[in-house]
C-alpha cells in the first residue's frame, strides 16, 4: 500500500514530539503491540504526562511517513490526536483518517510545518475514539506536492490496551 518517492519523509526522531517536552521523550517507553506508551514530565497534579504513539517508516529510505500520537495536548483535558507528516505534504489539501470502509472520514488540517515535518492536530470525539477501539483498519490519506496521493495504514493492534493504560496515568 505504501509506494513513495525515496525523497518523501521526515527524520524518525521527531516523530514523538507532539505532547511532551524533550526531557520527557527520554523518560519511559512501554511497547503495547504496535503502540508505544511514552510517559515523561509530571503535570501540576503529580501525574505522569503520557501519550501513545506509532510511527510508520518508508522502507525505501528509513524516513518517517506518518507518526500518530494521542494524548492531552497543551494543557487540554480532552484527548487530542496528532499526525506528523513529511514536509513535502500539500498543505492546502485535507488529511483524512478513514476507518474500515467508511465513505467519509475524519478531516485534519496542517497546523504547522517547520521544514522537518508538518503537524496536524485535532481533538478526539467519541465517534473517532470508538472507531479506533473497534475498527479493523485505519488509513490516513494525504497528498504531497506534485499531486501524489498517499495512503498510509495505521495498525490498530494493541490500541485499546494502550489507550486504557494511557487514561489510567
pLDDT band at 24 (very low <50, low <70, confident <90, very high): very low
Q: Are strands 112-113 and 118-123 parallel, antiparallel or unpaired?
A: antiparallel
- The yes-or-no verdict on residue 102 having pLDDT over 60 is yes
- Structural domains present in the chain: 12-168 (2.60.40.1880)
pLDDT of residue 146: 87
Q: With the C-alpha atoms ordered 147, 108, 54, 113, is the resulting torsion angle positive or negative?
A: positive
Q: What is the mean pLDDT of the chain?
A: 82
pLDDT band at 20 (very low <50, low <70, confident <90, very high): very low
Q: With the C-alpha atoms ordered 90, 91, 93, 96, is the resulting torsion angle positive or negative?
A: positive
Grid cell digits, residue 101: 470502509
Least confident of 14-18, 31-35, 100-104, 156-160: 14-18
Q: What is the pLDDT of residues 37-93, one digit of tens each?
A: 988 777 677 666 788 999 998 888 888 899 999 987 656 677 899 999 999 999 999
Which is more confident, 143 or 47?
143
Rounded CA separation 155/35 (Å): 8
pLDDT of residue 151: 93
DSSP-assigned beta bridge partners for residue 149: 143
Q: Where are the beta strands (DSSP E) in the chain?
A: 28-32, 35-42, 48-58, 63-71, 80-85, 95-99, 106-108, 112-113, 118-123, 138-143, 149-154
What are the CA-CA distances from residue 97 to residues 22, 132, 148 (Å)? 27, 10, 17
What are the CA-CA distances from residue 85 to residues 40, 58, 103, 110, 168 (Å)? 23, 12, 23, 9, 29
The predicted model scores a pTM of: 0.81
DSSP classification of residue 13: G
- Give the sheet arrangement for strand 48-58, strand by strand: 28-32, 35-42, 48-58, 63-71, 80-85, 118-123, 112-113
Which is more confident, 121 or 21?
121
Amino acid at each position: 500500500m505504501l509506494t513513495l518517492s525515496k525523497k518523501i519523509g521526515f527524520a524518525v526522531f521527531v516523530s514523538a514530539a507532539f505532547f511532551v517536552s524533550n526531557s520527557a521523550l527520554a523518560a519511559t517507553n512501554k511497547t503495547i503491540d504496535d503502540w508505544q506508551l511514552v510517559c515523561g514530565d509530571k503535570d501540576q497534579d503529580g501525574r505522569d504526562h503520557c501519550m501513545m504513539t506509532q510511527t510508520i517508516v518508508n522502507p525505501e529510505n528509513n524516513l518517517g511517513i506518518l507518526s500518530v500520537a494521542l494524548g492531552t495536548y497543551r494543557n487540554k483535558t480532552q484527548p487530542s490526536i496528532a499526525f506528523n507528516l513529511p514536509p513535502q505534504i500539500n498543505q492546502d489539501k485535507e488529511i483524512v483518517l478513514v476507518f474500515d470502509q467508511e465513505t467519509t472520514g475524519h478531516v485534519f488540517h496542517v497546523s504547522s510545518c517547520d521544514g522537518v515535518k508538518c503537524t496536524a492536530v485535532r481533538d478526539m470525539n467519541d465517534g473517532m475514539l470508538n472507531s479506533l477501539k473497534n475498527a479493523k483498519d485505519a488509513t490516513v490519506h494525504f497528498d504531497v506536492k506534485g499531486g501524489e496521493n498517499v495512503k498510509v495504514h495505521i495498525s490498530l493492534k494493541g490500541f485499546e490496551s494502550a489507550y486504557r493504560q494511557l487514561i489510567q496515568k
